[in-house]
Amino acid sequence: MSLKIENVTLYTGKGEKLSQSALVIEGNKITAIGEEAAAKNAATVIDGRGKTILPGFFDMHIHLGMDGIADPFAQIATDSQATSAYRHQANAQKQLESGVTSVRNLGSKWHIDLAYRDAVNSGLLAGPTVYGSGQPIVMTGGHGYPLATEADGEDEIRKAARQTLKQGADVLKLMATGGVMTPGVDPGSPQLSEKEMRAAVEEALHAGKTTASHAQGTAGIQNAVRAGITTIEHGIFLDDETIELMIQYGTVLVPTLAAPYYIVKNADSGAIPPHAVKKAAYCYEVHGESFRKAVEAGVKIAAGTDAGTPFNLHGDFAKELELMHEGGMNVRDIIASATYSAASVLNVQNETGSLEKGKIADFIMLNEDPEENISAFRAVKAVYKGGELVHESLGKETNSAT
């Protein structure tokens, strides 16, 4: 069955914008775009006049086992494996409805994200495409230890990496520094060493997998970059030397600007653990400045929210894109960071991540053009995954940013 959507604005995900254009899909693949699509016939034709089509979004940093409640670690401590699995499905649906057709889950206790991924891939459940890390690898007592595998020294880290890869991880998540949510650790303090992380990176490379490092403090970020980590998560304290190092190594930044934003915004709720509020307030301004410097310097960026952290809800991907825009990124670069650039990080850019002939038909339709209104990312009219309509909104209003 073929479908043609015509008279639409298309952002390809690779920096191109096509006006009064068209898209044709057959089965789960894109078979034509642009002039070729306009000239093609199809069994079903939709007039998309006034609408904008983008590739399906990738949220490159989420936690499907966390709901965005004020104290997610308390939630993890009391959830059973079954409850956590149900939570993964519920949160994944919220992601899909917001236009996120692919997610990189960077930390689930019991490796449940990997089981959830397999359930989606087998057709047992409907959801976004999942690239999972399973349990992160941390030093003893390190950031995120309640949902992680603790290991110390190169040999233990190497074994933990191999065990996580054995479970089927698509990416290894490593903690290079302390963080906001874990009590008793400093976001600026290094944790896993450069040598320890390099051992895990080597194992990931041998298995054809990628790596991600929670890295907030300058020294820890540099350790991770030199170790060969694929992506730096958060990157709160970036100085000029660190930015230059990231450019030299081709390291990608996943900024997660929404994570501290929502903690600071809800600091007076009284529900977020005080240690997290204090640390987030300290990091918030410098995080924004670090992001602006990275953008200006040309650091590679992929969009990710850290959804699941306090008040950082699944389904609110648009907020991250709005914050990136406030931080100096133009709309086409933002779209690329959430589509083709993200797919490139995962080494799946030849199959997905952009609107091109022969690629998987994951795409979304917006009611407005984001170059005309940045809040257009909230006006999701329809979501297609593998050529199938998986969500459609009946409303035409753009939700206000929160």
pLDDT tens track for 190-203: 999 999 999 999 99
Q: Are strands 380-385 and 363-366 parallel, antiparallel or unpaired?
A: antiparallel
pTM strictly above 0.85: yes
Please report which confidence band the pLDDT of residue 346 belongs to, taking 50, 70 and 90 as the band edges: very high
Q: What pLDDT does 226 receive? A: 98
- Indicate whether 397 pLDDT > 60: no
- Indicate whether 179 pLDDT > 90: no
Arithmetic mean of pLDDT, 354-373: 98
Residues with Cβ within 8 Å of residue 23, at least 6 apart in sequence: 4, 5, 8, 10, 30, 32, 33, 37, 53, 355, 363
**Nearest CA to 301 among 388, 235, 360, 369?**
235
Q: What pLDDT does 395 receive? A: 61
Q: Which tokens sit at 83?
A: 């409850």
- Indicate whether 129 pLDDT > 80: yes
What structural domains and CATH numbers belong to the chain? 2-55+355-392 (2.30.40.10), 57-345 (3.20.20.140)
Arithmetic mean of pLDDT, 256-284: 90
pLDDT tens track for 46-88: 999 999 999 999 999 999 999 999 998 899 999 999 999 999 9
Please report which confidence band the pLDDT of residue 235 belongs to, taking 50, 70 and 90 as the band edges: very high
Q: What pLDDT does 271 receive? A: 86
Q: What pLDDT does 180 receive? A: 81
